[in-house]
Amino acid sequence: MVKAAKRWGPTAAAAVAASAVRHPERLAVIDETGSMDWATLDRRTDALAHGLRSAGAGPDASVGLLCRNNRSFVEVLVAAAKIGADVVLLNTGFAGPQLGEVARREDVRLLVHDASFAAVVDAGAATLTRLSAPHDLDALVAKAPATPPEPPERPGGVTILSSGTTGTPKGAHRSPDSTASRGSAASQIGMLTRVPMRSGAPTLVSAPLFHTWGLSGLLIAALMASPVVLRERFDPADVLATIERESIDTLVAVPVMLHRILDLPDDVRRSFDTSSLRVVFLSGSALPGDLATRWMDEFGDNLYNLYGSTEVAAVAMAGPADLRAAPDSAGPVLPGVDLRLLDFSDLEVSPGETGRIFVKTGMMFEGYTGGGTKAVIDGHMSTGDLGRVDADGRLHIEGREDDMLITGGENVQPQEIEDVLALHTAVDEVAVVGLPDDDLGQRLVAFVAPEDPSSPPDADELRAWVRERLAGYKVPKEIRFLERLPRNPTGKVVRRALLDDTVTAPLED
């Protein structure tokens, strides 16, 4: 294991090689094509590393990876690390033009993509050297030597793209040999002391692997030599079936996935045996309304919610006890993280007040690949969120700085209104945005997906519900009904689609 760490550095390759030493015959990856053990994964990625090099990848030639949650993603990530090639994780929701723009900006030289994305690649990146997974990868492995390649002079890094809910996603790069990345790895290990994950316990990673949280789930499982279970597409009933079939111990997900599972009919949801599930590890967005309580009432106190970002890594985590006491909280700040809440004059707010979140973790990213970085004040980096710390030391996320709305001269944070509307029994999910208004500057509009699309609630009833609980200026001027909110592959609401009136599936008035 020490030899593997020295050979490959703090990368996915080292985690796989070490697990191959510890538990060579233990299953490593289980997906819809079958399964393989850690020794086989290590040997295949040795061969694939030679194959990627022959296709043009290397320390000076980045690999773009456009794959869903499957073994091809894992193999390319590990093989690229073995030859020191940087990997750019591409969003599987990209259209052709967006794919081409990001590939050019990130200087991708070799694109590996699932065969199902051939048309998207043709439309946006047809001139790139490309490999179709899994067929082309299997062909490279078949003809390449399975001996380990010579270790690169420097480990390959990973570029993760921002969620892109407000424009073209930006690339956040981390080099494994940087101080920040070493600190991040140490923090992940320390974070696990608060989560009862077990070595060798099957882990279902439902969060997209191209996203920070899905990738983290993969790497944590690899470090623990745990079987990683992958499904290409999220389906709530399929998740429950997979938990039963594979005796899943840990589920790595984003909050909207739990929402979809809880939306299943009771008889469907309760027809599966989920008694093996001990840990549900969440991140990616705030927990809306009473989601945490509803989940734990149904599936037990197994919920752990992590708050952080690609740029600053892990910041705070709420365990089951925290979520029982404060269901919408991000929990206490993690050890080693220095949190500051600042007003818009960059002064610290008083205890209990809301401020802009700045953190110092020793794990901040190296800047966006296209230039620029997050705001930094006195060594503390902005997360872009607003938050407050309650009397028990738990951090509460109260929305994004750039989501702040001004209506009639009053500042309004939409999440506060969304949380109130989400508590109404007829509301399934909701997003509040500000549309231009000649008198108010912005008028508040709530987009509501009802629990029963065939019988949406009365708009005046919902406005009265808000008026009873919040100040009058926070009551939405309009309620618009949709079958479902537009979300990106990581589960975040795409607010620009609401602002541009480009949402799909409106309900009839």
- Which CATH architecture is the domain 191-401 placed in? 3-Layer(aba) Sandwich (3.40)
Q: Where in the chain do CATH 3.30.300.30 domains reside?
A: 404-499
Q: Where in the chain do CATH 3.40.50.12780 domains reside?
A: 2-22+37-175, 191-401
pLDDT tens digits, 43-60:
999 999 999 999 999 999
The whole-angstrom separation of Cα 437 and Cα 417 is 19
pLDDT tens digits, 169-214:
777 776 665 444 444 455 555 577 788 999 999 999 999 999 989 9
Mean pLDDT over all residues of the chain?
A: 88
What residues contact residue 192 under an 8 Å CB cut-off, 6+ apart?
220
Q: Residue 508 pLDDT > 50, yes or no? A: no
- Which pLDDT score is estimated for 174? 64
Domain 404-499: give its CATH superfamily.
ANL, C-terminal domain (3.30.300.30)
Reported confidence tier of residue 454, pLDDT bands at 50, 70, 90: confident
The whole-angstrom separation of Cα 494 and Cα 499 is 9
Helix (H) and strand (E) counts for the chain? Answer: 17, 25
The gap from C-alpha 184 to its chain's centroid, in whole angstroms, comes to 16
- Which pLDDT score is estimated for 453? 87
Q: Residue 323 pLDDT > 70, yes or no? A: yes
Q: What is the DSSP letter of 338?
A: E
φ, ψ of residue 303 to 5 degrees: the values are -100, 130
Q: Residue 145 pLDDT > 70, yes or no? A: yes
pLDDT tens digits, 386-435:
999 999 999 998 888 877 788 877 778 888 899 899 989 999 999 999 88
Q: Are 45 and 4 in contact (CB under 8 A)?
A: no
Residue 156 in 3-state DSSP? Answer: coil
What string of DSSP letters covers 227-282? PEE--SS--HHHHHHHHHHHT-SEEEE-HHHHHHHHTS-HHHHTTS--TT--EEEE
Reported confidence tier of residue 288, pLDDT bands at 50, 70, 90: confident
- Which pLDDT score is estimated for 163? 61
The whole-angstrom separation of Cα 65 and Cα 210 is 8
Specify the pTM: 0.84
The whole-angstrom separation of Cα 456 and Cα 454 is 6
Reported confidence tier of residue 335, pLDDT bands at 50, 70, 90: confident
- Which pLDDT score is estimated for 187? 52
Q: Of all residues in the chain, what percent are helix, strand and coil, respectively (each to 5)?
A: 35, 25, 40
Q: Residue 326 pLDDT > 70, yes or no? A: yes
- Which CATH architecture is the domain 2-22+37-175 placed in? 3-Layer(aba) Sandwich (3.40)
